Structure 1
Amino acid sequence: MGKAQKKKAMRRHNPMRVPDSHLPQGLASASETSSKTEAILPIIQKMQGTDVAERKWACVAVSNLIQNDPSTRRLLQGKNVVGALITRLTDSEEEVAIEALGALRNLCIDGGYDICAEMYNKSILVPLRTFVPKVSTTLSQYLEGAQNAPENAQTLVYEFADNLITVLWCLSETSNKALTAINEMKLTPFLMSFLAAREKIPLAPVTAAAQCLYVLTDDNYPAIADVRSDGSYIACLMSILTPDETSPPPNPNGKAPVDSPDPRAVTLRVLASGILRNISPIPPPSAASAVDVDKDIVLPQLQPVVSALSLPEASASALELISKSQQDSTTPNIEKLSLKNTPKTDHKSPAEIELERLEGRLRTVQLALEILTGACATLPDPEPETEGEVPTGANEEGDDDIAEDAEDDDADLPPDMDMAIDNDVAMDASAPQPLPALVQPLLALIQPTTLSFPPLAAPSPHPPTTSALSAIHVAALECLNNIFLALARSGGGGGSAADTAGGRAVWDAVWAALGVVGTQTGPGQERRRAMWEVAVGVLWGVASVYRGSLDPNPEHVRALMALCDGASAAAATDAQLRVKCIGTLECLAMSPAPASLEANATIAAYLLSMLPSLSAPVSPAGTEPMLQAAASLIDIYSDEGAPWDGNFRTGGYLERLAESVEGVKKAVRAIDRRKEGGRELRRRGEEVRDNLVAFVEYRRGLGL
């Protein structure tokens, strides 16, 4: 089953707020779908004009126009608004540069990677490099004698720092080139200075600094080494996790107290936990070097965060706020935009501000889930694997085929590209472990709300909330995926009747969520697809851990087959999806219940159809799914005494498997080791080929 890995593509605390994949491409279509087309040209003209007030106005206008409006954002991009704003960063008037940076910050958040890449290619880092020491110097001056500085000047600097750091963090996720350039800026002391001063300055720049450092320390050795090298940095991060004596006590029912502090304080603790996990193991002489970061920091800090959120309540609150926002809509005429306020808060009603706060809380939970995903891969601790211990043939007990692909570091790939195990490792372990306590809150977070997956024909009334909700569902499934991967490795979860009932509850909960998600496809429905892709990994893990305890539901069997058939044999990500579907079907085929014999035959026939034959020497399913189908058939029928083995004998499966041997051999020889993942796939193919040959000989020798 596939282990969900943390990828930079998923680390954005605030990813593209308004997904725009459902919109037609091209400026013409953007012009047709935008209600502000006529405002674009005046903005660009005034941004490049000689009047300071107009240049400032134009920068503010960009921030206001793009909010929740991907069509207008695309139109502005088509008019080179990014290049124009970068030029304004070196404007002779400081206020214009401040507003330009704010607009660029909002473009980063609302536009995603494409806009960030455009900014990098247009040399935005050149002016940003000059801002870092200036902000650092000003921050030091304020901290040494803050009472001497006017309050509005301090506010301006802190907002500027927030915007600067946010742009740098978004750029660091854009490409390896951008990350390398930002590494050269040596930002760690700058960012840590905000964390160290968190009690004296606003939380916004502090959390932005923590987010930037969190992203920079994600599999990025230069930043990791910088943080590790200074014991005061680690002490500062640890101190963020120490409860503030002035904070209200936690509510015993797990819900946040009514008078809870700024939610960004929670975000800060989540980020500090993530940074410590990124830099672990923490080297001595730090006192934290003896700490088990996952068990002693990540789980205690983040499990309450994800447990406290009620998605139905959040969705209901969002709908109420959306209604208020629509009733009190004060969307300004572009000509009347205020020049006094900052781009982030111009002309927002109280309901709109509350919606942003709600989105922030949702994004914090999403972030916590993404950090927990890595920790969940070690719950419970798996037994150490013996190097080189690989089964080579079939026997009466049934052999376990293990395939492990190297982790893919490409940020553009889906997180589930690491094939970890394909069946129930150590299911006869003598001390099965119960389900971790984290499972129950995760099951609550995978259940869609009315705002999570609106149909394409009726777009979401508030796309940012919809994006955050659906991201939480996917992230919670990834945590579950890794929990059951770890359980399968350790042999946990399959002991008592209570444990078995818990496994069935998880199985039913995942299918219930998928039933709400549905199978609608097309532009704008990518998160539905992601739900299925990750959920099938969870189903495979649950089915492996509770093999023999889950009776196959014909509807589930048909759904898995349909999903597998709908995947492309040519796409690498779809090949992984097919493998997971096949692995889940394998486990379902091994139910001992008499009523399950028909499902066993249905599944076997389906898996056999994926194997090469004399008439069709190339598998229609693709090489990797074909290998998984062969391995699954071997596992299902490795014990001739199993209740379902009659299907093998009466169905002529042995002859069909024997017929496939030559085709499997040819397919394995054709695997290109030079391609990405090719070496591991070739090794896996050779194992399956040898097992298949041995299995055919074994079954023939039985003479049944």
Structure 2
Amino acid sequence: MGKAQYKKKTQGWRHNPLRVPDAHLGGGKAEGKADPAKEKQMIPVLNKLKSPQHADRTWACAAICNLIQNDAATRRLFQSRNVVGELIERLSDDVDEVVVEASGALRNLAIDGGHELCGEMANKGIMSHLTVLIGKISTTIDNILSGSGSESGPDKFFQERKHLLDLAENVMSLLWSMAEASPKTLQAVNATASESLLVKLLQGRETIGLGVSLAAAQALYSLSQDNFPFRKALITHPTALHTLIEVVQQDHLQAESSQQAKSKKGKGKDKQADGATQDDLPEGRALLRRILISGVLRNCVAAGSWADDKVDISTLTNATILPLVNGLLDVNMQEVCARVLQLVQEIPKQDIAIALGKDLKTDHKSGPELSLERIERSLNTVVTALEVLTNICAGLEDEDDVLEGAEVPETAEEADEDEEMDGVFDDEGLIEQGREPDAPFGDIASNPVVNPGATLSHLLSGLQLPRRLTALSQLTQLSFPPANDTPSPHPPTTSVLSMLHLRALEALNNLLLTTAASIPANASAATQAAAAAAIPMQGIWDAMFATIETIGSEPQALQLRGQEMRVEVLQMALGCVWGIAKIAPAQLSIQPPHIQALIDVQAVLRSELAKTRCIEALSSLASRQNVTIDENRAIGTWLTQQLTSPAAPLSAELLIAVLNAVIDVYADETKDSDEEVFVKGGFLEGLSGIVARVKGEVKKIDRRNDRQTRVRGEEAYENLVAFIKYRRSLLR
């Protein structure tokens, strides 16, 4: 279980960079204490959504965005007055400007409100409106790309084009958010058959601009993750693969410069006056688009597949994608945080009357806000690059790639075995019937096939990824929301930073896992040391425990709503601890607090996988050649207590992990710690008294629904009985 790779991203933890979800706004914002001034403005704004004047309807949609921006309490007040339903109704308005502003308000609501609000939108019928708008956008895009609409006059064509592009960006962002909300909304998005429009928007990227094509890339990236129907529809589209490759190989600096030249015509003075160019920061949208499409190709094209004949994903990865990702990994996190805190102080205080002025637009921002948005986009580009890198570093091919959850029929032989297990035996009777210790103890599974997306030596030595990923994983003062009712100084930065740390740890976890799998079973210390030569073992070890200590210093925060990312980062840091411990544990300088931390953290972990990582890491530490008797005793005593204590029975996964750990640690009776710990500690007597209980727990594992766990459980039980027989034979 500790050998888990991270090839795919679950929809629940994607960071959406346009706004920040409720979970990162802090406890104070969740108490429902809306700004009284905003609350006073709410009713007139809602009333104007149904005004006969289209200017009033447009204004109301924009006002809603300004009132609720990063303010969960005010947003919920609007929700209680059915603002979602009212805005969805405006998507069928007969005035284009109203539709554009309504879609923009819904886009921001979807991102601010997260999965819950997206579910409300789906229940109130937004998908049927989006399907209509997708068809309208597709037809108009065809006209724009062909220039066939310009005969209506340059001014009207320009206005129609502007509305269309704004609408397209909002609709693509809504598809993106809805795809990530739940399996139900993902299916609804799949049903819109949006892949043709998304590809078309990328094909016309030079004409339609960066904003719309970036939104299309983000939607493609979300839809291509864990979504086989969409991936199949995309790669079978006649021009999709060619278009995706073009985007990945296009120079983003040239695309950025071209877009900036177009946008500055007639607008340069206004931007300078507003302070938007006070920071010498790149716009970054072309680079993010390129990284996102790199991820789409990695998601959709498997090496050796029929689609790979057109793409050659290995060559594309090594020649283009990996160098592109590599250039994004050296971020000075402390400097970023300092700049963000400075910019936050420079944001002008919003006056409600000005915020609801007559020229209101949904995306009006001050200079410091635009600078913060660019910083956030840059960080999000690094996050996406890390996700692509995580996929590249996932170098194991094993049985976990088969479909999970499929019910396997039970054979007659297996039914007979279960009946045989029903016989009533005490511990000694079961030990007598168990197999003899004529084979090595522990896992008998074959070594996995190691096949990373790039050569392991290049990833480790050439790019020095272990050191650089470790640096990206280190926490800052803005990494998590404060563990109290005070929100983060800048919630969007906190949201993306916590995701950045998690993605860096996932990539590092995969890299360490692939390295550990490349070491032959029962390798000598010299072989382990050679494999670890390109990895700063002690540096990673100390950095992971610094993260564990920092998160563990505020244990109360781990139970609070909005602090879920603390647990996620903690669990992934433990995965990296497991990887380091597996590669060359004898090279590590282990301190007593490290072992105690791995034991104590079990109480706060929620994931079975994370708990097994801790158990397996402890097993590696207790089995290493230079382990002290005190270290071995601390680990061995805790492991055997987990097995023998009736107070807190272990789950099937943890039971198997602890059984395997005890056998691994004490299978060699020649070690110095054996007599002092295993024999004098009475571990053999304790293990002999749990045989019947272990057999009963294994029998509870449903063979039809969880066949793999049942097989591993039976192996662990057989190993336990054989181990007891073997240890008893040494006493004769």
Same fold (TM over 0.5): yes
> What's the counterpart of residue 455 of structure 1?
482
Contact 1:280 1:293 in 2 (8 A): no
Question: In the alignment, which of 161, 164, 169 is matched to residue 176 of structure 2?
Answer: 169
Q: Aligned pair 1:472/2:489, yes or no? A: no
**Which amino acid in 2 is paired with 1:440?**
R
Contact 2:25 2:488 in 1 (8 A): no
**Post-superposition offset of 1:230:** 3.8
**Post-superposition offset of 1:582:** 1.1
Higher helix content, 1 or 2: 2
Q: What is the alpha-carbon distance in structure 2 between the residues aligned to residue 697 and residue 332 of structure 1? A: 79
> What's the counterpart of residue 83 of structure 1?
85
> What's the counterpart of residue 583 of structure 1?
616
Contact 2:168 2:212 in 1 (8 A): yes
My pick for the range that moved more, 147-156 or 492-501, is 492-501
Q: What is the alpha-carbon distance in structure 1 between the residues aligned to residue 489 and residue 137 of structure 2? A: 39
> SS in structure 1 opposite 2:249?
coil
Q: Aligned pair 1:640/2:662, yes or no? A: no
> What's the counterpart of residue 608 of structure 1?
640
> What's the counterpart of residue 278 of structure 1?
299
Q: Flag the 1:34–1:120 CA change in 2: closer, same or farther, 3 A.
A: farther
TM-score normalized with structure 1 length: 0.84
Q: What is the alpha-carbon distance in structure 1 between the residues aligned to residue 46 and residue 371 of structure 2? A: 31
> SS in structure 2 opposite 1:611?
helix
Q: Flag the 1:240–1:450 CA change in 2: closer, same or farther, 3 A.
A: same
Question: In the alignment, which of 312, 333, 351 is matched to residue 332 of structure 1?
Answer: 351
Q: What is the alpha-carbon distance in structure 2 between the residues aligned to residue 545 and residue 34 of structure 1? A: 58
Percent of aligned pairs sharing the same letter: 34
Question: In the alignment, which of 262, 266, 290 is matched to residue 287 of structure 2?
Answer: 266
**Post-superposition offset of 1:18:** 3.8
**Which amino acid in 2 is paired with 1:46?**
K
Q: For 1:250-329, list aligned pairs within 5 A.
A: 262-281=283-302, 283=306, 287-289=310-312, 291-292=314-315, 294-305=317-328, 307-325=329-347, 328-329=348-349
> What's the counterpart of residue 413 of structure 2?
none
**Post-superposition offset of 1:401:** 5.9
Contact 2:49 2:61 in 1 (8 A): yes
Regions of 4+ moved over 6 Å: 21-27, 381-385, 392-397
> What's the counterpart of residue 693 of structure 2?
663
Q: Flag the 1:157–1:688 CA change in 2: closer, same or farther, 3 A.
A: same
Contact 1:550 1:588 in 2 (8 A): no
**Which amino acid in 1 is paired with 2:83?**
V
Q: What is the alpha-carbon distance in structure 1 between the residues aligned to residue 196 and residue 459 of structure 2? A: 44
**Post-superposition offset of 1:349:** 1.2
> What's the counterpart of residue 377 of structure 1?
394
> SS in structure 1 opposite 2:687?
helix
> SS in structure 2 opposite 1:3?
coil
> What's the counterpart of residue 225 of structure 1?
232
**Post-superposition offset of 1:26:** 12
Per-residue displacement from partner, 1:278-329 (whole Å, max 9, x unpaired)? 2113635954246456545543332222x1422222212111111111xx32
Q: What is the alpha-carbon distance in structure 2 between the residues aligned to residue 432 and residue 592 of structure 1? A: 30
> What's the counterpart of residue 592 of structure 1?
625
My pick for the range that moved more, 104-113 or 640-649, is 640-649
Q: What is the alpha-carbon distance in structure 2 between the residues aligned to residue 663 and residue 679 of structure 1? A: 20
**Which amino acid in 2 is paired with 1:635?**
D
> What's the counterpart of residue 473 of structure 2?
446
> What's the counterpart of residue 192 of structure 1?
199
Q: Which structure 2 residue ranges, 5 or more long, are not aligned?
A: 257-278, 403-434, 451-456, 521-526
Question: In the alignment, which of 598, 603, 626 is matched to residue 560 of structure 1?
Answer: 598
Q: What is the alpha-carbon distance in structure 2 between the residues aligned to residue 177 and residue 501 of structure 1? A: 43
> SS in structure 1 opposite 2:536?
helix
Q: Which structure 1 residue ranges, 5 or more long, are not aligned?
A: 250-257, 405-419, 425-430, 568-572
Count of aligned residue pairs for this structure pair: 649
**Post-superposition offset of 1:22:** 7.4
Q: What is the alpha-carbon distance in structure 2 between the residues aligned to residue 31 and residue 245 of structure 1? A: 44
Question: In the alignment, which of 544, 549, 552 is matched to residue 515 of structure 1?
Answer: 549
Q: Aligned pair 1:630/2:652, yes or no? A: no
> SS in structure 2 opposite 1:461?
coil
Q: For 1:512-551, list aligned pairs within 5 A.
A: 512-520=546-554, 521=557, 522-551=560-589
Larger radius of gyration: 2
Q: Flag the 1:399–1:286 CA change in 2: closer, same or farther, 3 A.
A: closer
> SS in structure 1 opposite 2:690?
helix
Q: Aligned pair 1:399/2:449, yes or no? A: no
Q: What is the alpha-carbon distance in structure 1 between the residues aligned to residue 626 and residue 392 of structure 2? A: 36
Contact 2:145 2:207 in 1 (8 A): yes
Contact 2:442 2:660 in 1 (8 A): no
Contact 1:312 1:449 in 2 (8 A): yes
Q: Flag the 1:516–1:244 CA change in 2: closer, same or farther, 3 A.
A: same
Q: For 1:86-165, list aligned pairs within 5 A.
A: 86-145=88-147, 149-150=154-155, 151-165=158-172
**Which amino acid in 1 is paired with 2:581?**
A
Output the aligned Cα RMSD. Answer: 3.4
Q: Flag the 1:686–1:628 CA change in 2: closer, same or farther, 3 A.
A: same
Contact 2:469 2:504 in 1 (8 A): yes
TM-score normalized with structure 2 length: 0.81
Q: Aligned pair 1:366/2:383, yes or no? A: yes
